[in-house]
């Protein structure tokens, strides 16, 4: 499973990249808005300097022509830019056009399996089902991942399932068990991935016991 970080924050990206296991980055307009004062294109350029894997940059137009126009300067920022488009009819049309030119596309705000089927047919590189937001309204976000996995397997679609709106390590475990290709994860969840109290107490005990061995015996 590939792990992307879901943030526009450079410090978080640097810390996650330093672990050596970060595969990419996703941003969205809300995440960029949190970065007070950051110029969107400059921020993307900075992110692409840190991370060589895919970096999703989202458009805000709601018509195909506007989306394609916004995508132009974005794809020129770096070769690892992936264009993120909303899963609406205009987004599907723009996806088709960009995919035909070899531009990588991430179709976002996917909430039902048929949206995932359509974007795969339109040549999307990634589909982003939003698990947490379905859970928020009392629906089973993980069931959506399961449905998309089955549909894509049935027909051999190459579009990668990018599990998004992940809120906890449990979301990540379930998405990995189902076989999501990628998960985009907030920094707090990346930190929690390596945490276990038994690891900490076990290490403490090992070090204490090691200290009891006389120096000449080590
Ligand atoms: O990548 C999409 C993701 O950022 C949405 O997460 O927590 O705002 O639902 P959330």
pLDDT tens profile 71-114: 999 999 999 999 999 999 999 999 999 999 999 999 999 999 99
The pLDDT score that the predictor gives to residue 88 is 98
Tokens of 113: 């399996």
Nearest CA to 35 out of 12, 59, 55, 15 is that of 12
Residue-wise over 176-215: b if at least 16 C-beta within 10 A, else e? eebebbbbbbbbebbeeeeeeeeeeeeeeeeeeeeeeeee
- For the Cβ of 26 lying below 6 angstroms from any atom of ligand 1, the answer is yes
Q: How confident is the model at residue 126 (pLDDT cuts 50, 70, 90)?
A: very high
What is the SS3 assignment for 166?
A: coil
For residue 37, the model assigns a pLDDT of 81
pLDDT per residue over 158-204, tens digit each? Answer: 999 999 999 999 999 999 999 999 999 999 999 999 999 999 999 99
**pLDDT, tens digit, for every residue of 3-18?**
999 999 999 999 999 9
2 is catalytic: no
Instruction: Express as a percent the part of the chain with pLDDT over 90.
Output: 98
Task: Tell me the pLDDT band of 27, cut-offs 50, 70 and 90.
Answer: very high
Q: Whose CA is nearest to atom 8 of ligand 1?
A: 165
pLDDT average, residue stretch 200-209: 98
How much is the mean pLDDT over the chain? Answer: 97
Residue ID of nearest Cα to ligand 1 atom 5:
165
In CATH terms, the superfamily for domain 2-217 is Aldolase class I (3.20.20.70)
What is the best residue among 2, 33, 130, 188 to mutate for testing ligand 1's pocket, by most ligand atoms within 8 Å of CB? 130
CA-closest residue to ligand 1 atom 4: 165
Q: Is residue 180 within 8 Å of residue 145, measured between CB atoms? A: yes
**Taking 90 as the threshold, does the pLDDT of residue 38 lie above it?**
no
Active-site hit among 36, 52, 84, 204: 84
- Residues 107, 20: Cα–Cα separation, whole Å: 27
First vs last C-alpha separation in the chain = 40
Residue 133 CA: nearest ligand 1 atom is 9
């Amino acid at each position: 499973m590939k792990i992307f970080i879901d943030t526009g924050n450079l410090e978080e990206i640097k810390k996650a990249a330093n672990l050596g296991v970060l595969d990419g980055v996703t941003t969205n307009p809300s995440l960029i808005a949190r970065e007070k004062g950051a110029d969107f294109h400059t921020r993307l350029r900075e992110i692409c300097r840190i991370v060589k894997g895919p970096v999703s940059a989202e458009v805000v137009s709601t018509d195909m022509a506007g989306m394609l126009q916004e995508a132009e300067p974005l794809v020129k920022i770096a070769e690892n830019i992936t264009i993120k488009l909303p899963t609406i009819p205009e987004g599907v049309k723009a996806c088709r056009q960009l995919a035909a030119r070899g531009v990588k596309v991430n179709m976002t705000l996917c909430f039902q399996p048929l949206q995932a089927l359509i974007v795969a047919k339109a040549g999307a590189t990634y589909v982003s089902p939003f698990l947490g937001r379905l859970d928020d309204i009392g629906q089973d976000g993980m069931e959506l991942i399961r449905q998309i996995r089955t549909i894509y397997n049935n027909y051999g679609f190459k579009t990668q399932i990018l599990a998004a709106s992940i809120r906890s390590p449990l979301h990540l475990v379930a998405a990995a068990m189902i076989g999501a290709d990628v998960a985009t994860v907030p920094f707090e969840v990346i930190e929690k991935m390596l945490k276990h109290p038994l690891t900490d107490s076990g290490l403490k005990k090992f070090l204490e016991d090691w200290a009891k061995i006389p120096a000449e015996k080590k």
